[in-house]
Structure 1
Amino acid sequence: MNAPTTALITGGAQGIGAKAANTLASRGWRIIVADLNEGPAKDLAEELNRQYPVGSAHLGFGVDVADEVSVDSLHAAVADETARIDGLVNCAGNILRQPAEALDIAQWRRLLDIHLTGSMLMAKTFYPMLKAARGSIVNIGSVGSTLGLPGRTAYATAKTGMLGLTRTLAVEWGRHGIRVNAVAPGYVNTEMVRSGLRNGTLSETALIGRTPLGRLAEPEEIASVIAFLLSPDASFVHGELIKIDGGLTIDGTFS
């Protein structure tokens, strides 16, 4: 019996990562949930085992993607369970809201380490397993990959950097059959966005008014595009950024 296709999702215990885990599991994937919070990662894996059992158990692990030792430990644990990774979703992320002139550089470094260094560490460390499977990577960009985001300098910088990482890995690793793409969500109904609405950094009225579809995205809508990019249906999609923003970044209305 063939082993199920396996996806490793960082930041997988909440938000878009958790929805990607559920969506892929519902389509027959085996899911490895990796999150800074090990307990919720294991809890989600158990829930997936109840709802979407596959030949091998869904698993949950703790990892700090910004720490090389932690990523190496995750790799060792995953390698004990499978010889290949068919999909890697680099979903781990955080947000820092400060004006540029008051930016805490230690927090700046931490955010860039989680988003950029973490995505690179995961890709590099799991490269042999991705190569064995001729697997696929999906990185998470943002509307911040296209637009300046006042008060979120570190976040916009990190998300813009994800494009360079995605494109360069795509050029280097395409010859090995590893596809690398990114998605750029707009404003999604997640805790990260809701926290911005609560503290006044974001205005829901302004966001909806700026988005041609007139609403926030739901996490499931982002997860569905991630699942497409990992699937055989996207077998010749490579080095691309797919915007999932309800039209926000193409609207040139100034009235």
Structure 2
Amino acid sequence: MPDRTERLRTALVTGGAQGLGLSMAAALSDVGYRVCLSDLTDEALTESGRSLRTTRPQADVLTVACDVTDDGAVDMLMGKVRDWADGSLDVLVNNAGIIARSPTQDLDTETWARTLDVNLSGSFRCARAAHPLLRGGIAPTVINLGSLGSTLGMPQRAAYNAAKTGLVGLTRTLAAEWGPDGIRVNAVAPGFIETSMMRSGFQKGLLDEEQMKRRIPLRRLGEPAEISAAVLFLASPAASYVNGVVLPVDGGTVVDGTFF
């Protein structure tokens, strides 16, 4: 049997059909990972998988539709990854997420529950189901996607903020619990990033771009590639002793005290 360090490493990115998820998947492919993209529907994944294979002829890509709120669907996802990747997984990126904006007093229970189920419980389900595969991985790591909402009380995002704050607790607990298995667990907390979703918010008048930039010490939005770079760092040997951290990639937003 060949040494497992000689095999191609495998990464799974949930919420990988667009935006930050697709950017992270492309970056992982660029440094030699075979990548499984997962998202809610096959339709959402078709173009993303085709794009990766077209722009990166060397890419080894698997696409699997999965609802991360469904235990059975998550187990099926991990089964497909196991069969495709010879029983192991090296990097799990828990990126699947949704956001709902509403004054808290108007937030209905169904939206609250759904937001927590996707953002927090979905990450828990995927990590739990991936654990046996990660134990067979090469320097295995889990990277959870936090947010400014992990730290700041962002108005009209009660469910999202609660979920992302809970994800910090999950990250730290798994880091302590799974460290003895050699599995590192960290989180990346993006700030305001230039994505189609963010641009849509500007166009609809839900967000004020200039006000947002003034709030960021670097006075600009982040680029998806800058989030991907943080993910690559946490997945790399350079971060081999980094475990249980939340890495802000936000241009200094959460530490800015100049407005006082």
TM-score by length of 2: 0.93
Q: 1:49 is matched with which residue?
A: 53
AA matched with 1:89: V
Percent identical pairs in the alignment equals: 46
Equivalent-residue separation in structure 2 for 1:53 and 1:136 (angstroms)? 26
Secondary structure at 2:136 match in 1: helix
Shift of 1:48: 2.4
Q: Does the Cα contact within 8 Å between 1:64 and 1:70 map onto a contact in 2?
A: yes
AA matched with 1:178: I
User: Is 1:81 paired with 2:92?
Assistant: no
Shift of 1:51: 3.4
Q: 2:167 aligns with which of 149, 158, 162?
A: 162
User: Is 1:186 paired with 2:191?
Assistant: yes
Equivalent-residue separation in structure 1 for 2:173 and 2:80 (angstroms)? 28
Q: Does the Cα contact within 8 Å between 2:82 and 2:89 map onto a contact in 1?
A: no
Shift of 1:53: 4.5
Secondary structure at 2:220 match in 1: coil
Which shows bigger deviation, 38-47 or 62-71?
38-47
Q: 1:3 is matched with which residue?
A: 7
Unaligned runs of 5+ in 1: none
Q: 1:72 aligns with which of 75, 99, 109?
A: 75
Q: 1:142 is matched with which residue?
A: 147
Shift of 1:58: 1.1
Unaligned runs of 5+ in 2: none
User: Is 1:99 paired with 2:103?
Assistant: yes
Shift of 1:75: 1.7
Shift of 1:217: 0.5
Equivalent-residue separation in structure 2 for 1:107 and 1:224 (angstroms)? 32
User: Is 1:27 paired with 2:7?
Assistant: no
> In the TM superposition, what whole-angstrom CA distance separates every residue of 1:124-169 from its partner, at most 9, and x where no partner exists?
0010000111410000001111100101111111111110000000
Shift of 1:38: 1.8
Equivalent-residue separation in structure 1 for 2:134 and 2:95 (angstroms)? 17
User: Is 1:36 paired with 2:6?
Assistant: no
User: Is 1:14 paired with 2:24?
Assistant: no
Equivalent-residue separation in structure 2 for 1:126 and 1:51 (angstroms)? 29
TM-score by length of 1: 0.95
Shift of 1:41: 2.0
Shift of 1:96: 0.3
User: Is 1:253 paired with 2:258?
Assistant: yes
Q: 2:157 aligns with which of 142, 152, 160?
A: 152
Shift of 1:25: 0.6
